[in-house]
Chains A and B, each alone.
Chain A
């Protein structure tokens, strides 16, 4: 009597029970494993996995972008600006001195411009309109006071009246001051000279912007 018969009337043949299902599954798994093994061996034999290989890894491939930045200083006052191609004002440094100017007299202020970035860049200067307290923008007093800009000393960037300084700015290019090397500085001296005959009272104002591109 077979084992199945001994288990009684409810016991079925091998193909109908859980053991049979496990057996069939094992057979499928074994078949797949065998096929995979044969494929792996075959691929190795045909050199797909059987070649010599070597490699050299390069880990030092870098690009560093340059930077341009501008600082303007006079004594303890310093202004900083990025090299973003925009005009920047420094409100803490008065390049016209802020004092009184008598007829025929002159006064000078020197500022230092430095490229604090890592690339050389051209420096430009852009004067805005001159205004005076007597007649406003482009007023009479702006025609009676002249300015000489020298960067550095001995190299004149502009000389003329404050109104002419504004008129000749060639907006938006401005006045070319020169190219600053990375880390290099240049001194610019602004010399104001009053005409021999000027009104007794009055003030002038003329914003000046810098750009390092």
Chain B
């Protein structure tokens, strides 16, 4: 009888299916063990009601109103909501009760009060933080240039007129008296934080041309100083 010795190739072919099968079985057993099918009892709870709701347009905002005799005028001069930047052009804080500029003489004063109100309403109404930013003071005739009204070089009215701001905030806010120029230098001013919805802060501006500021070159000048109320979510 002739015995043929199997070649090396035939020996490798007979071994390969067994190794592959064993590997696959081991992998399957491992997988079932890992994912719990053969290892543990499992249970699950699925949450389907996880929502986020933002407040409505009325949930954030503030308004500015002129106060006459202790009563704020309606409608407000401006009411700004989230991301809005509106102009209030009818209240002169350096005038008398917000009136347009009238000639002020040495020793005279003007007083204007405005009310800032948190207008947020409804579910999710937000408190707000109030701040005031004052722009630099400018004159219709720059200092040192000839004032056509007097024929003389204009004086520094921005450095002569003084203003004091007092607010009914908690704690009370006050600045001044300082010159209009210095008021801008010290800006911005944090008036009050976390004003609740519906609450208000009254701010009174008292503007004075001191009696000592009687230089003739301060006559017939007009200053301008824009300012911005900023309302930020607390």
Q: Which residues of A contact B (CB under 8 A)?
A: 51-69, 82-85, 117-120, 182
Contacts and interface: CB of A to CB of B under 8 A. Distances in A.
B92 A53 contact: no
A138 B199 CA distance: 76
Main secondary structure of the interface of A (DSSP, over half): loop
A69 B101 CA distance: 20
A86 to B, nearest CB: 8
A59 B103 contact: no
9 contacts: A53-B82, A55-B230, A56-B78, A58-B88, A61-B225, A63-B157, A65-B103, A65-B221, A118-B220
Interface of B: 60-64, 77-78, 80-95, 100-105, 108, 110, 126, 149-152, 157, 161, 180, 207, 209, 214, 216, 218-233
A53 B101 CA distance: 31
A69 B220 CA distance: 10
A85 B215 CA distance: 9
Contacts of A67: 103, 149-150, 219-220
Contacts of A56: 62-64, 77-78, 80, 85-88, 228-229, 231
A59 B81 contact: no
A22 to B, nearest CB: 43
A182 B108 CA distance: 15
Contacts of A65: 103-105, 157, 161, 209, 218-222
A62 B222 contact: yes
A59 B81 CA distance: 19
A58 B95 contact: no
B152 A82 contact: yes
Contacts of A64: 101-104, 221-223
Given A55-B85, A67-B150, A119 B228 contact: no
A51 B103 contact: no
A84 B214 CA distance: 9
A13 B125 CA distance: 65
B104 A55 contact: no
Contacts of A82: 150-152, 216, 219
Contacts of B83: 52-54
B33 to A, nearest CB: 39
